[in-house]
Structure 1
């Protein structure tokens, strides 16, 4: 199997990397955090790079690229600690392109791919403990119109979105609905998360909605898989940069007149961090390659295996980086502390390590770990 990236994929990586280096400085990021954790101008810049419709089929106005291209983009955005929820564009594009009718696609895919519209998935509910179902939000149909009622938590940039994709129970089965900004009965309370990005608590009270699909369980699960894989790729990018920052610091900091990078114990720690990064990278590749796995159980296990390893790797790399930096590693003025906070938040996004370890253990065969 060829694990080398194609020329097009390398060019895409380089384009995103250059944008991050030139346009998304630490100072700009701090300004975005101070102003609320989301910047429409950045969202538009990402669209101008052609990233918003990256995996949307060309026939529907997108770039028609695949999972590996999305992974490459997310790694580079992770290196830059980009706050804007780019993964939500991938989720929304997949849901609309694969499940919405022609009218909804025509109304929303073009604004999505051009960066004019921010469409986010509002799926998490209080007390769900990372479970996608059962869904507490209810939907009803009256006179040909759907209305939904319920609450959603930790919706990425939810109070600033132009539309929300909302799972709700319709006649006892999970369905997906699209709710437009300005619809009656919507309340969104926004706030900053620990890594400086923006989220919101959402409430829907008999809110008019448009049906995307009645096969909501399958569509929601696939969206979750994209979310998990996105966290994995972003985590690899964040760990990559965290390792570089730590190595640079060790090569500059002196103790007893010697740069501390020469101390063998610290070099061993750096080697352990590098090992965890590469374990995480290989499992991220595994996750993205398995996104289109036709066998449902294998796809589910692949994503959980990847997220578990990434959770372990991100926690280790983040904590070791803080230890090796000393006090400066947790100061808000130093960018390294923001990499640590992002790694910590990614570890609990789309299911923490214990959640995914539970999925893996529940699906182990009786012969697991037994030599033939």
Structure 2
């Protein structure tokens, strides 16, 4: 595989890293963004639209960048470095990933790329754990529309999204793979209730209750589409974790160089140098797996793709967890304060570790598949 970036990819990486540095270089700015009405800065979202980041996965004919998993990796790494709070994963990776493949919504795609509309994917249900096919929400046809009943949880940025993409069962039993449709609805539609809340990492999510809510069918038998976009989201999460790990590692090393004990910087103690070296190794291992995920998510075999993405998610999750714990321990008490940013990076890494399946879940998937694809 060729891991060298093209000139366009290098320009993209430079541009998004500069944006994150300018907007998030001062950690106090992040706190101010979180305090805004939607939990993020509208000005930042508009700037991302102007840079073309919101149309990244769209084709040039659709007014987008024509980017793929490698471009997404570059953007998500930068988002991880800055702990960006804007709904990029929810709107671009998940929302656009589903919407553009379902087809028939060209005007809405343009609105999203221009920054005028945000999306959220309401799929997770309480009983399902990490099984994407476990759907109890029902959909029944009523004329040209469909009527949805059920409840969804942890819809990322679902409390402020302008449109919701919702999975619901049109036929079959709760755990059947067939009979799952993908629907589009306006959250202002009668019968939709949203309860928003802050997640542990400072971002936003929502519980969504549907009681006779009317929606538009985007795709019937949509589970393969949902699984593909979920795999793309896993690749994006691995890349974001690498960015966060890299920054948390550098923050820890800087602290070891400045914190004094027994009249000398604690970074001079050999045992702590070994811990810092382990953090470097963990970051580079995670980076390799994130690159592997970006390559494998483009595969045409769904089973091989899913196994590869599970392996990447499991290893990156384990490495991120260990690095985060080491960073907190090496910092000492200061890392547990709300004012210091090390703890916020650890919280985000913890959240990334459970989104779309935790380490144990993905290890079980790899084992069930008989190991990685050849």
TM-score (norm 1): 0.95
How does 1:71-150 map onto structure 2 within 5 Å? 71-88=73-90, 89-101=92-104, 104-106=105-107, 108-150=108-150
Q: Once superposed, what is the RMSD of the aligned Cα atoms? A: 1.3
Give the conservation status (yes or no) of the 8 Å contact 2:69–2:232. Answer: no
How does 1:189-204 map onto structure 2 within 5 Å? 189-204=195-210
1:7 and 2:7 aligned: yes
Unaligned runs of 5+ in 2: 173-178
Give the conservation status (yes or no) of the 8 Å contact 1:61–1:109. Answer: no
TM-aligned CA deviation for residue 328 of structure 1: 0.6
- Aligned match for 2:278, one of 272, 279, 304: 272
The CA distance in 2 between the partners of 1:62 and 1:234, in whole Å, is 22
Match of 1:64, SS state, is coil
Q: 2:54: which partner in 1?
A: 52
Match of 2:159, SS state, is helix
TM-aligned CA deviation for residue 171 of structure 1: 2.6
1:65 and 2:71 aligned: no
1:175 and 2:176 aligned: no
Moved more, 34-43 or 308-317: 34-43
Moved more, 38-47 or 261-270: 38-47
TM-aligned CA deviation for residue 48 of structure 1: 1.5
TM-aligned CA deviation for residue 338 of structure 1: 0.7
Q: 2:192: which partner in 1?
A: 186
1:330 and 2:336 aligned: yes
Q: 1:293: which partner in 2?
A: 299
Q: Deviations over 1:236-279 (max 9, x none)?
A: 00000001100110111111111111111001001111111111
- Aligned match for 2:245, one of 239, 248, 253: 239
Query: Alignment length, in residue pairs?
Result: 363
TM-score (norm 2): 0.94
Match of 1:181, SS state, is coil
- Runs of 4+ aligned structure 1 residues displaced above 4 Å come to none
Unaligned runs of 5+ in 1: none
